[in-house]
Each structure stands twice: as C-alpha cells, then as structure tokens.
Chains A and B, each alone.
Chain A
Amino acid sequence: MVVRSYNDELKYLEKINNYCWRIKIGFQPNMKVEGCFYVNSALEKLMLEELRNACRPGMVGGFLPGVKQIANVAALPGIVGKSVGLPDVHSGYGFAIGNMAAFDMNDPVSIVSPGGVGFDINCGVRLLRTNLWEKDVLPVKEQLAQSLFDHIPVGVGSKGIIPMNAHDLEEALEMGMDWSLREGYIWAEDKEHCEEYGRMLNADPSTVSMRAKKRGLPQLGTLGAGNHYAEIQIVDEIYDKWAACKMGIEEKGQVCVMIHSGSRGFGHQVATDALVQMEKAMKRDNIETNDRQLACARIHSEEGQNYLKSMAAAANFAWVNRSSMTFLSRQAFAKQFEMSPDDLDMHVIYDVSHNIAKVEEHLVDGKPKTLLVHRKGSTRAFPPGHPLIPVDYQLTGQPVLIGGTMGTCSYVLTGTETGMEQTFGSTCHGAGRALSRAKSRRNLDYTEVLRKLDSMGISIRVASPKLVMEEAPESYKNVTDVVNTCHAAGISNKCIKLRPIAVIKG
C-alpha cells in the first residue's frame, strides 16, 4: 500500500458536485478505472475523517478506510465503468459495504469476488403492507410485538418453527421462492413482487458444502442477529403519491411490516468455503489484487462458476427464509386481528437484495454489455420501463427498500434513469455503520439505548439486550442523510418514509 500524508491523498480526490466525488487513478496502485462516491456535506466529513485517521502514523490493522477500499476494487481485473461508493459506504471485508462494481462477462480476465457480495449473501429487505391504520394497532402494539417475537425466532443459534428435513432444504436451495409457493407458505403475488422472482436459476446445491447445509437447515425461518430485524412500521410521509399508490400505500398512518434478514449461517459458510477455493485459484491464474481480502477468481474458472452457483443457492435460501417469515408475520397478524391475511391485504410490496452479484445487461459507453454486477450493501434500483421489474412498477420504477436502524425511520425509494446511467442501476441500502461494533459496545450503555427506544414509543423484543448498543442509532450514519443524498444525486427518488412502532431483533 502506498503511504502518503493526508494532504497528498486529498490530491487524488476531486469534488465533482455537492453530492459526488471522483477518486482519480493512482490513488491506489493498478487502478483500471476511476472510483467515485456519493456523499452530502455531513457524510463527506465522516468519509474524510476515516481517511485522515488511517493516514496517521502507526495506524495498522483493522479494515482499510472506505475510500481506499473503493479504489482497490477499481484495480480488480475486468472492472468496467467506475467503482461506486454509495452514501452509506463504510469499511467491510475487502469491498467496502455500500460498494457497487461491475465486471465485463466477455472479458476472460474478469473476476467474481465473494468479498464483493458479502458474507450474508442475499441479505435483503421485504416490505408487507396492510390495510390497518395506526389507531388499529396502537392499542395492541405490545401484544403484536410479542406475537411476532413468538412466531419468528431471533438471535444467534435460533431455530425456526417450520419443519424441514435435508431433502426439503436441497429442494429449497434449488427452487428458492418457488419452493415456498409449492408448499403453500406464500402467495403467487409475492413471487411477482420480488427481485429475480425469488429464484436464481443457476443455483446448484451440489456445489454447496455439507457444512453449510448443516448450518442452514435449522435456521430457515429465523431472523438472525446483527442488524437484522422485523418491524411494524407506520407510513410517516409520502413524497410521491402516485408511486406510493401503485404500491398500495394510500395515506399517512397506514401500517406496514418490514423484514430485514438474509441467508443466516448458510450464506456465511458458502462465502467462507469460496474464499478458501479462490486463494488457490488466484495463485494458479496469477491474479493480483491490492488487498488479500479481495480474494477472487475468474468468472469462467471452475472456482468462479462454483461460487456463482453456490451463491445463487444461498440467495434462494435467503428468499425462502424471508418468505417463511412473511408467512409467520401473516399468521401473527391474523391471530391478533382475527382476520385472514387476505382480508388484511398483507401483500408484499417488494423484496430487495442488497448483498448479491448478478448478471445484467447495461450500456457501457453507449454499447450494450453483459456484466456481472456486484452489489455489496447496495440495492438494485432499476428505472421505469426496465424489463426486469414487475409489471406493477413499470411506470414508477423499481421500489427500493431502505431499512433504517433500530428506532429510526426507513424509506421506500424508486429507481431512476440517472441511476441506471451513473451507478449501473444501484443505490444505497441503509444507514451504514459509523462506529465499529466494538466501539459501540465501549461507548454506549444498553439500558440507556432501550430506555430511549421506550421513550420514543417503540416496543422492542430482543433476544440479547446486551448487544443492542451495537445496533443503536448512534452507531450508524443518519439514514435520512443517506437517502437525501441519493435523492439529490438523482440515483433514486424518495417515495415513502416509514417510522417504527415495534421492533423484534436478535
């Protein structure tokens, strides 16, 4: 790594406009393309502060700062366009979380990297609407939170209440949400309102290790820990009435349910297994990267293909997982209100993936190209009229679900043409950490965090309260800053704002 003073580093960064910075070639060695990142003035400070800290003499260990990681990704073989940092970007394993990078499928040296997808493969957000209003749920808020908590097991080591055997798991890995549909856990319309229709067709369970399957089997239908949650939310603001109406959101005060979860231990194991394989492949094919954590393999190598097939299986696992929790949430609501989920109009508005790599068609310098788009902590945001978004959203653009942190608001955005041009149809995914987990544990007190939520009128059910400070709003960037930056930069449009009234989490 190049060692430079902070002021020298700044020479490689150029502010293009109020919301976007360019990272020039040379900031890190071997950069094939430029980098860029989207920040407003508040987020910009955090970003540069991180870089300044890393430039102090004697700083070793830990993750590289986000800007450096974006630049390192720009040095990977086969990258096209730009390495893009979204407003919620922060350091992660290899790739920064909030980084989008696309690789040309037809370039034989192009790579796929598990670090560019993340360990929680197909972590994502699903939003269900209801026809209930705030006044209907406030009196039974506690009961409802408890009921959700009873239905959806949470926390590290939790086990699901949907019985499954090894054979069921194999089928679920291959079929994704089609399995949930076949078994009757979800509605036909759910599949329609889900990225990839809830199934990646190239999934191959035979490429997945036994260990991953063993870890995954009991965890289906569980929320997990970390930043995952299920929330009962209230529509707080509608920015785009027409688009909201297309999503079945009519007025402020309508009740929604948001589920944020991923592929649990299964995806983690798939990623870990792949990293081991890729180190070998890198040696064999002489692939050089700036950072050991950027382990990768050529897309068309055996390791690359195996990873893509097993990643697809993990993606399917995550969709089945969110579908099972959709089923359980519907049950919880149905019991509480003694009405069928149908009568409660509990439709899936949309389901997004924010840790995934997908093959997509994009225009690069005016020419159509097939790309492998890595989105890590970044959400796909396709514009109106794109063939891969559901028919109901053809006029509005793809809904983009942005989960806030515990106790803060969440947003629904829509994809735009500008986003398609500038970021290969990608936008932010959430708030993005500002403090590391360890730092949050040191600086915050969990009773204080819980008391604060209570004073905001938010019911909370949590498996491990002592870890709650890791997820406190103070540990994160301000989600409103993040979303406003995306809106102002034009890479997605604000549509709906939601605020939580009940949270369950690990």
Chain B
Amino acid sequence: MFKRKLSALQYPQCDFVNGKDETEFRKVIVWLEENKIKKYKPESRPISDIKSSNWKKSFEQYKKDVCCPVKSDTLIELDWFINLALQKEYIQNKSKYEKHSLEILKSPNTPNVVPDNPLDHLDFGSKDFENGVKAIAQMLQILSHPDPLITLKAISKLICNRLNNNAIKNPEDYVIKGAPFPFEDAIKGYDLGDLVLNKAAKILRLLYIQNLRDLQTKSNELIVSVQSITANPKTDTKLGKVGK
C-alpha cells in the first residue's frame, strides 16, 4: 500500500506499510510530520507520542491545523497526508523539477498568446484565490492539487459536464452508463515492464480515446448541420436498368 508514494518520500519501510493497522498508521503520520510536513515545531508535536491515549484527539487537532478535509476513512486520510508531504517535497525542490516542465521544454519561438478574459486579471497567486479554490474543491469533493489553477480546471470540468442546466434537469442522460470493461486485460500492445505504469498508460489511452470520440462527435454534428443546407438526395427509377 502506498509503496510508490512512500518510496518517493524515502520512507524507511515503505514495502511493508499496512494503513489499516492503527499503530502503523500513527507511525507513518508521525514520520511524515517530523520529516516532511513540519507543521509544528519539533519541540511541540503533540502527535509524536503514538502510544498516548490522547493521540486521537491530538490527531484531530492536527488535521484541523493542516486543513485536512477527509472525514472518515483512514486509508483516504493516510493518502491525503502522503500527498501533502509529496506536495511539500515538490515545492521545496520546485526549481529542480521545473527544468523538465512542458513550458520550458517548449520551443521559445511559439508566440505568447494573451487571451482577453476578465478572469485573467485575477491575481492567481494570492492567498485569497487559493483559499477560494480550495473551498470550492472541498464542496465538490475534488482533491486539491498544489497548483490552485489545476484544481480550478478540475472544478470547471466537473461543473461544465455534470452540473450544467441540462445535467441537473436530466441527470440520467449525463451519468455515464455501460458495461464495465476489463481494460487491464483487454488493452494489449504494450508492456512498459511495470504493472502500475501499464495501468496508468492504459487509463491514459482510454482518456485519449474519449477525447477523440468527443472530437469525432463534434465533427459529425458539424457535417450534419452543413447537410441541412446542401443535402438533396434524389432517385429516379426511370433511369434504372438491370444488366445481363
């Protein structure tokens, strides 16, 4: 469980973590706080004593302090904390990772398009903006990304696809139905030598196919709308002749 994420954080026994075990859960949380999250000063960490009978109480306080939105499931909680740690780690080494970012890899020749959109005048870096996005995300039960703009994108997608007027009126038309598809077995053709990587690649492929389907549907709609102007199919049975 969480092997990849924890090994990225260099957690010592990442191979054997069982998040359902209360002691281990506490151990990981404390390790994350002490080594990565560092919300509290070292001398005042009430959660450090994992054997304390008050641990649960101090943990609830801790959750409030780091604004953890997760309510019930300990596994989701643990995942959230690991993500938070990853996020801190990332921000600390941002310059190192950004060398590989798409913006920097892109050729410097592409023109910088400045769209004329009132939202662009917002200050995306401000705390206000960040908190606002976080609040909406919590309301919609979307996990926050360290970059509030990306979280906002996810929010916008959800609202456009599932919370538009039509979707609210006829939810059954928008909630995707269909038979489950065994994509892990059914998509063949590549093996990246790693189960999890394969799974991720297959999910990406499915998303790509969905995008392509949307595009094709839109092209078809366009053709149909043009057809309403140009189409005039005719037949004339008098012309027909059966051969020998």
- Chain A interface residues toward B at CB < 8 A: 149-150, 153-163, 181-185, 188-189, 191-192, 218, 222, 225, 242, 245, 327-328, 331, 383-385, 390-392, 394-395, 417, 463-464, 506
Contacts and interface: CB of A to CB of B under 8 A. Distances in A.
B244 A463 contact: yes
Contact of A153 (B186, B233, B242): B242
B230 A183 contact: yes
Interface residues of B, number: 32
Contacts of B232: 183-184
B233 A184 contact: yes
A149 B224 CA distance: 29
Contacts of B212: 391, 394
B231 A159 contact: no
Contact of A184 (B186, B227, B237): B227
Nearest to B182: A242
A384 B219 CA distance: 22
Interface string B155-187: 000000000000000000000000101000011
A69 to B, nearest CB: 31
Interface in B13-68: none
Contacts of B115: none
Contact of B223 (A159, A181, A463): A181
A351 B139 CA distance: 49
A506 B242 CA distance: 9
A162 B242 contact: no
Contacts of B242: 149, 153-155, 158, 463
Contacts of B230: 182-184
Interface of B: 179, 181, 186-189, 205, 209, 212-213, 216, 219-221, 223-224, 226-227, 230-237, 239-244
B227 A242 contact: no
Nearest to B213: A391
A161 B235 contact: yes
Contacts of B181: 242
8 contacts: A153-B240, A155-B244, A160-B240, A182-B230, A183-B232, A184-B231, A385-B205, A391-B212
B109 to A, nearest CB: 26
B189 A384 contact: yes
B231 A182 contact: yes
Contact of A383 (B189, B223, B226, B239): B189
B241 A159 contact: yes
Contact of A163 (B188, B224, B234): B234
Contact of B220 (A161, A192, A328, A394): A192
Contacts of A225: 243
A181 B226 CA distance: 10
Nearest to B226: A182
A394 B205 CA distance: 9
A41 B223 CA distance: 50
Contacts of B223: 181, 188, 191
Contacts of B179: 245
